[in-house]
Amino acid sequence: MMAAARRTTAVAMALALAGAGARGASDLQRDAGIPVLIYHEIVTDPARAAGETVIALDRFEAQMRHLASDGWQTLSIDELVAVMRNERPAPAKAVVLTFDDGWKSVLNALPVLERHRMRASFWIITGAGIGNDYLEWSDVERLANNPRFELGSHTVSHPWDAKDNLVTWMHAGTPGKDRAAVRAELADSKATLEAKTGRRIDYLAWPVGWYSDEMVELAKEVGYRALLTAEDGGNAPGGDVFRIRRVFVDGACSLESFRRILVAPVYQPCQTNGRATFGHTPPTD
């Protein structure tokens, strides 16, 4: 019910944008909250199909150009959390850029981010997501040393199968996995990133956005100060920093679609095999 209510609110914002008239984007964004955008792979190979987790570099660059020219301010997760905790004011037009999984192709995005002086966070899978198609530890350390970039945990192994994931582990739905296994995914990834980079790791993004209330409490015990989901919606002062909402940026969508999700953060797939919704628990069928 809560996820449905959030989607209803975001859809209402999209309708408001369509008939905004004299109201500007910054007014609408204050209503919707600060959007946190999810990217994965940033590719240069024209043979790679754009979609839910893949975007061509030129399309990504056009989106960043729009943010820069239209006056959007990129925030770090630290800054977003401070806004949500009412520790600092929210900028008139603010957005957060997140890159999940630590794909090696995100290196393509770095010159674009640097050119526009943008902040971004990168979510690293410390076991299964190092080397080959993923960043090397040397790349991770390079990101950690850039003052505009942040690192966060995306667990050790990023289990993502609907029948074999952190939620099913936590609730005895996967043979051989239990609460202790979930805790190890959270704690070990945090410890490894801290050891490799010499930086505190305060934030975790749930794999696929799937979590339970019990997992939130466990993450707090491990020492995380905020948690990121994949639930639609923006993030406003007073919001729950342990359930930060994020929206996927579909790489097949137009720049106009990108502009819409900035003020109405609702995932809209633009390719035929895209998923229409993201709940906080895995599907049961």
What does the alpha-carbon distance between residue 239 and residue 9 come to, in Å, rounded to a whole number?
A: 15
Burial state string for 153-164 with b = 16 or more CB within 10 A and e = fewer than 16: bbbbbbbeeeee
Q: What is the pLDDT of residue 2?
A: 32
Q: What is the pLDDT of residue 1?
A: 28
- 57-116 pLDDT per residue, tens: 999 999 999 999 999 999 999 999 999 999 999 999 999 999 999 999 999 999 999 999
Classify burial at 239, counting beta carbons within 10 Å of its beta carbon; exposed 0-12, middle 13-18, buried 19 or more. buried
The answer to whether the CB of 216 falls within 8 A of the CB of 242 is yes
Q: What is the pLDDT of residue 132?
A: 97
Lookup: tokens for 183: 């805790």
Q: Which fold has domain 2-263?
A: TIM Barrel (3.20.20)
Helix axis angle, 25-32 relative to 2-18, nearest 10°? 170
In this prediction, the residues of the chain whose per-residue pLDDT falls under 70 are 1-31, 272-279, 284-285
Lookup: tokens for 7: 């989607």
Spell out the domain ranges in the chain.
2-263
pTM for this predicted structure? 0.89
